[in-house]
Structure 1
């Protein structure tokens, strides 16, 4: 049995903790949602910042909400290299040993000593969807994309739970390698 999942291409973005939101955007500032994301309770924000590395700056990087316990910057490898940061591939929230950078907002700056990463490829599934696909939380699977530039991605983390909804997250480097468009799907291979 094959289980098909829509692909969500993840452009460079960041998640901020409350204290950094206030430093970057001003005391008492609350994030301004502009678009709900597929994952329940998550949204793109009006707020944007600049990310500064040793070799350059990425301007106008979108903040995603809601606030997180720790600030996390998710870049594609191409983005990280362009500003001189050697970002490791990590699961979301696993920030130990990651490099830092400077974040510049309209009201202030934050100097991070860690928090920059390349997100590990992953598939979000609700508990019922995971059962239907025959996988469980923390499984590592492969996904197969068909088409002109079809390929198989290995080392895809399953994130299954009540806060998840069926979607595969690839970054822009991965999406471009596979020629993904907005309607791309992949088959989970166990």
Structure 2
């Protein structure tokens, strides 16, 4: 029988700020105007931490087979494909089973109905639970010794609880600011407050 290679967990020194990503919707132009009317404009209500990203003034309703969720914020700018991001708790309320995916991976994802003030739109795909991930620029990737799309574990350091979250995806781009994104279920599991940090754990 072959000997199994033992991998030791190594905790890095760098801290990663954590942001809680609540349910939201990204839209393409065609769907936006259908839902909100031709006179509507995707205007910023509040800037988000990642450069160029913002929460808009617009909200819509998600409707599933078993229930609906009102006042879901639309984020900007426009995307090439409409994408709706929810938590597992939201999925249970709606009666849907979206896959856990990275942003943009929408092929054969879950269907959902979007209700806006000017129209109702049934999307055959586009509903996902986004996999926990870390945004970072190239200099951060060098400092953490990681690569784009690498899978890591993060130890979340909450005020009350500590939680190790596995299968966290590294996303590297010159346009990114260092930040880990978790959904509301993950944040609640770790009892996260408004500002928390995590420590990246690489397997060597």
Q: TM-score, normalised by structure 1?
A: 0.97
State the match for 1:114 in structure 2. Answer: 125
- What SS does structure 2 have at the residue aligned with 1:58? strand
State the match for 1:187 in structure 2. Answer: 199
The answer to whether structure 1 residue 43 and structure 2 residue 47 are counterparts is no
State the match for 2:4 in structure 1. Answer: none
State the match for 1:77 in structure 2. Answer: 88
How far does residue 28 in structure 1 lie from its aligned partner after superposition? 4.7
How far does residue 149 in structure 1 lie from its aligned partner after superposition? 1.5
State the match for 1:165 in structure 2. Answer: 177
* Structure with greater strand share of residues: 2
Deviations 1:25-50 (A, max 9, x none): 11153211011111111000110000
Which aligned segments of 4 or more residues in structure 1 are displaced greater than 6 angstroms? none
The answer to whether structure 1 residue 29 and structure 2 residue 44 are counterparts is no
- What SS does structure 1 have at the residue aligned with 2:78? coil
Q: How does 1:1-190 map to 2 (within 5 A)?
A: 1-147=12-158, 148-190=160-202
Answer yes or no: is the 8 Å Cα contact 1:53–1:102 preserved in 2.
yes
Between structure 1 and structure 2, the one with the greater Rg is 2
Distance in 2 (alpha carbons) for counterparts of 1:139 and 1:77: 24
Q: TM-score, normalised by structure 2?
A: 0.91
Aligned CA RMSD, in angstroms, stands at 0.9
Query: Structure 1: which 5+ runs fail to align?
Result: none
Distance in 1 (alpha carbons) for counterparts of 2:13 and 2:153: 12
Query: Structure 2: which 5+ runs fail to align?
Result: 1-11
